[in-house]
Amino acid sequence: MNNSVMNFVLLYLSLLFIIFLHETGHAIAAYFAGSGINKVNIGLGPTIFNRDKLHLRLLPLYGSIDLMTPKNSIFQPFSILLGGSIANVILAVILLFMANLIGIKTLTPQVIDKHPSVDKVVDIIRINNNPVSSWDEINKQLLTDYFLGRQSSITTPHHTYHAKLDKNTFHQADFIPINALGFEKFIPPTPCLVESIAYDSPAYHSGIVVNKEITHVDGIRTHNTQEFFRAIQKKIGQTVTMTQGGHIIIYTKDHCPYCDYAKALLKSNKLAYTEHNLEGNYDEVTSLVAKTNMKTLPQIFVQGQFVGGFTDLQGFDASGKLGHLIGQNKYTMTLGYTLNQSFRITGYAGIKFVLPPEDPSLYQHIKYTPMKAMFSAFSYVLNQLKFYSLTLFSFILGTIPFKVFLSPQSIITTPLLFLKKLEYGNYLYFLGQLNCAFAFINILPIPGLDGGLIIFKAYEKIFHTRLKSQPIILIHRLSFLIFTVALIHLLVGDILRNIQ
């Protein structure tokens, strides 16, 4: 089974599990409230299972329960409607507790320090004097400060900075808070080798191709992805020209004059390359000799094809064929302004680059004792629900635009990525986050969700009247349809990127 199918299967099973537990929460609440259950309905579309009190349909995007005639209690409908979200919150705590026990692998938060007297790459150790160990914690604290209009303090091992996010800078920084505060998130230097291009993006329409390196942006040399993003962030919304050529790899060793000559020749022609120094690496040298039948260095590859050593490279240059060998082409595009055009993961142009081999030194493994794991799980859920509330309030006030919520979130590819790497703690953590979000969304006072039904029930109790069921059902279904369309729009970027 290929990765695309596995991604969808895992997402399908995860959603099915979450919605089943949500409806189970309603059913348990109904049982304790003294109301019997006729049927539990899960999903939309064609029926795939219908037996006893369970009706399961193909698409796990919806759930409901059919109750028997309930007892006449003021609080009974509210307790039943809240039961689903409570069940998801409880499951979130359990999943996060298990994740904390197993251990979570997370990228150490590092930035390029602005302070001139210290090393360039440093860890962020505190935000507002609170210890932090992941980008997730940092982003939530900085966004909370932004929502509340507060100043943030960012502490590195050498210095503490004080800054405040403003709306314009936050938008221009692609809604990434640490970038908006003037820091540059550290990314291990890697060549700008194109892995994929987002559908309907500026790069997609320009004709840029995958498996080739972007060497220049408007004539500015881009040796690595950080230099590339620095170049395009100055050109947001403007037309740029990108130069793309074959990916050059040169194998060298120490004290090798011809290796130095080859690198100097490539630099003089403004050609990007990746160097692999094989000094002392006997096994890799043996493997390379067996592959090329050449026993000297340097050895040069373009687009994975062996082209020879320095003498061969010099011959191509002398004959004027070096540019043709590399296959350089120029592409013009108008960069996106913000998230609706920038595809979050792929930058303002819609380009995703090949990631370098994972460096274990950049990661940390966080694991807690049972007591601390449970405390951390409870704290996370409470803080997350508070954060969701602030986010919703800021959205209502217009502090953040709706398109932030409709940008690709990588929820299709994330589960399989964790499982393929045997990172079970991260997968459980992901499910815990998903349950927490599902619980919060369902209690929003929107028709089509549990919160909307609570509003209708509260109106009936306050005014001692019973609303007509048909209009309520119609409003409920229309609102749910709109909500489902928004959810599909949320996933469509992931789906297209996953298919590519």
Residue ranges, the chain, pLDDT below 70: 1-8, 60-62, 65-76, 113-119, 172-175, 246, 272, 303-304, 323-327, 337-347, 401-421, 467-470, 472-474, 476-500
| Structural contact between residues 165 and 155, judged by C-beta atoms closer than 8 angstroms | no
Q: Where are the beta strands (DSSP E) in 299-380?
A: 299-302, 305-308, 329-334, 351-353, 363-366
Radius of gyration in angstroms for the set of CA atoms belonging to the chain, rounded to a whole number: 28
**The residue type at 184:** E
**Which residues touch 308 (CB under 8 Å, ≥6 apart)?**
294, 299, 300
Q: What pLDDT is stored for residue 115 in this prediction? A: 60
Q: Before 60, cis peptide (omega within 30)?
A: no
Q: What pLDDT is stored for residue 469 in this prediction? A: 65
| Structural contact between residues 214 and 243, judged by C-beta atoms closer than 8 angstroms | yes
Q: What are phi and psi of 273, to 5 degrees?
A: -150, 160
Q: What pLDDT is stored for residue 498 in this prediction? A: 41
> What are 482's two structure tokens?
């709109």
pLDDT 10s digits, 154-176: 888 888 888 888 877 777 666 67
Residues in the chain: 500
pLDDT 10s digits, 233-281: 778 788 899 988 767 889 999 889 999 999 988 888 777 677 888 888 8
Q: What pLDDT is stored for residue 285 in this prediction? A: 86
**The residue type at 496:** L
Q: What pLDDT is stored for residue 10 in this prediction? A: 75
Picking from 58, 56, 57, 62, the residue whose alpha carbon sits closest to that of residue 84 is: 62
Homologous superfamily assigned to 248-326: Glutaredoxin (3.40.30.10)
206 to each of 118, 225, 331, 335, how far by Cα in Å? 41, 19, 6, 11
Q: Distance between CA 438 and CA 427 in Å, rounded?
A: 17
Q: Distance between CA 197 and CA 500 in Å, rounded?
A: 8
**Which residues touch 78 (CB under 8 Å, ≥6 apart)?**
454, 457, 458
Largest CA-CA distance found in the chain, in angstroms, rounded: 93
361 to each of 116, 189, 303, how far by Cα in Å? 25, 14, 29
Residue 70, classed as helix, strand or coil, is: coil
Query: What's the fold here for domain 107-187+359-363?
Result: Pdz3 Domain (2.30.42)
Does the CA dihedral 115-119-120-123 come out positive or negative? negative
Q: What pLDDT is stored for residue 453 in this prediction? A: 79
Domain ranges of the chain: 3-103+367-499, 107-187+359-363, 194-246+329-353, 248-326
| Structural contact between residues 83 and 37, judged by C-beta atoms closer than 8 angstroms | no
Query: What's the fold here for domain 194-246+329-353?
Result: Pdz3 Domain (2.30.42)
Q: What pLDDT is stored for residue 485 in this prediction? A: 61
Residue that the structure tokens 């194998």 belong to: 251
Q: What pLDDT is stored for residue 373 in this prediction? A: 93
Pairing of strands 274-277, 248-252: parallel
- Tell me if 107-187+359-363 shares its fold with 194-246+329-353: yes
